Structure 1
Amino acid sequence: MTELDWSEILLRLGVATLAGGAIGLNRDLHSKPIGLKTLGIVGLSTATAVLLAVEFTEPGKITDATSRVIQGILTGIGFLGAGVIVHESERFRVRGLTSAACTFLAACLGIACGTGQWRIVGVALALAFVLLTVGRRIERWLHRALGVRQDRHDRETPSSGA
């Protein structure tokens, strides 16, 4: 079993969050129905799941049992996330992507808690709260700075969960 130190966990989860967020920012600036927070959470979630697999294996080797458990959980959560996103009553309008990404992250954190990887849980949770707290503000600031229309964001309310 490998033991990653705090700085390596922060580096891996932080870069995954930033990379996902950067891609999300690009999508948001092009008026796509996904943004900085959502893809930042997805990057963080997947890095969290992979770190868990790495923590419980010999260096460079993931066991079949660990892989199957994580795959099963994340596949099931994918279906739950789809239900959060698509609402028939809203004419199948895409909404709730960030909530679905947070559902996925909660599953990854549940896996981390179940395996007792408290450092991974702590760093991932802190990064998620930072992203969820300042992500929308960064998107809006960049929209204003770059002169990009904000019609999609203006229709959303802070309590919409998006």
Structure 2
Amino acid sequence: MTIQQEFSDLGDASDITRVMVRLLVAVSLGALLGYERESIGASAGLRTHMLVSLGSALFVLIPLQAGMPLVDVSRVLQGVTAGVGFLGAGAILKSEKAGEITGLTTAASVWLTAAVGVAAGMGREATAVLSAILALIILSLLRRTESKRKG
């Protein structure tokens, strides 16, 4: 077996470009969301969001490259969604104060970042970008509004 055969999943320049664009969009948007979370000291920051987005993109990109029907890719998506939900659950902490729970927004941002990665991995880059922008609005602008209301 030659090296060319071993790396045949990226056959020509258009394949390489398509995969690179999808993965770079996923990583870049994950970085954007992760930077926002890291800037306020959240438990899941830049690297976590980048890895979640990249991993989610890979989990859908690989089956698509292999020619898996979309019906079967939906099962992969179910696994990604559940797995990332479990990861996000690790960010949620119950305080000793009555009724105080922290980390819900971080967990939700990790879960959303996975969805952004899935969109990028499936070739829906515009949807991924729009979703990340909306998430940034929710995370940053609404946090400022909320802190003004409390303070």
Shorter-chain TM-score range: 0.3 to 0.5
- Which has more radius of gyration? 2
Q: Give the TM-score, by structure 1 length.
A: 0.44
Q: Give the TM-score, by structure 2 length.
A: 0.47
